[in-house]
Amino acid sequence: MTDPRIIQLIMELRHQGITDTRVLAAIERVPRDRFVQAQFLEHAYDNIALPITQGQTISQPYVVAFMSEALQVNDRMKVLEIGTGSGYQTAVLAKLCRRVYTIERYRSLLLQAERRLAELNISNVTAKLGDGNKGWHEQMPFDRILVTAAADTRPDALLDQLNPMGGILVAPVGRDPDKQEIVRYTKNGLGIAEEKLLPVRFVPLLPGIAKEVG
């Protein structure tokens, strides 16, 4: 039986305007309690972002749903995600597409996310340690790219790795944390269309691989 807290969350997301039934079903099927830290377990299905380790966050379910919907993913698509973090958004994407390639700059977060995905038998994800700003050249082109940390400006290096015919990239963009917006970039053969969709607050997209002690 589905956890009543999940049913409550899905109702809330619908109320907030999420209509894509595939996205709502994916959120219903991914146990968010497996991606949060033990001390926040009772809040696992609250519609809020929560701290993870390394000063990072697991995104708010509404934002995960909103970005997944904005990405317009189907089950034939190859998707690149920048910022694996807890792996929660990765798991939701994995339910919606053919394969997810995901990049994280903290080794500890990456290993933890990979373990969680394996425990949930999610097998269509390839994860690596790296600087997501550079994308994943060997695997390009991607049908979709989702960035889950805020870029200062339009992420041109990633747009270069997007399918030129109808490829979509969704990212929070903005140098000032109070003025970030989720932007959708669509390649249409002629150029790149840009739509500002939602004001948000994300941790920053940082350069290079993170140094960790221990």
Q: Least distance in Å: CB of 123 to ligand SAH?
A: 19
Q: Least distance in Å: CB of 104 to ligand SAH?
A: 5
Q: How many residues bind ligand SAH (CB under 6 A)?
A: 23
Among residues 133, 162, 168, 185, which is the contact residue for ligand SAH, using CB under 6 A? Answer: 133
Q: Rounded to whole angstroms, how far apart are CA atoms 6 and 31?
A: 9
Among this protein's residues, is 59 annotated catalytic? yes
Q: Least distance in Å: CB of 180 to ligand SAH?
A: 13
Q: Check: CB of residue 172 under 8 Å from CB of residue 195.
A: no
Q: Report in angstroms the alpha-carbon separations of 92 from 65, 73, 79, 99.
A: 9, 11, 12, 12
Beta bridge partners of residue 144, listed in sequence order: 79, 168
Q: Least distance in Å: CB of 9 to ligand SAH?
A: 15
Q: Check: CB of residue 70 under 8 Å from CB of residue 85.
A: no
Strand pairing class (144-147; 78-82): parallel
Establish if 27 lies at the interface with ligand SAH (CB under 6 A).
no
x/- letters, 82..111, toward ligand SAH (CB under 6 A):
xx-xx-xx-------------xxxx--x--
Among residues 68, 112, 148, 161, which is the contact residue for ligand SAH, using CB under 6 A? Answer: 148
Q: Which residues contact 153 (CB under 8 A, 6 or more apart)?
A: 173, 175
Q: Which residue is nearest to ligand SAH (CB)?
A: 85
H or E stretch at 113: helix 107-119
Q: Residues interacting with ligand SAH, by CB under 6 A?
A: 56-59, 82-83, 85-86, 88-89, 103-106, 109, 131-133, 148-149, 203, 205-206
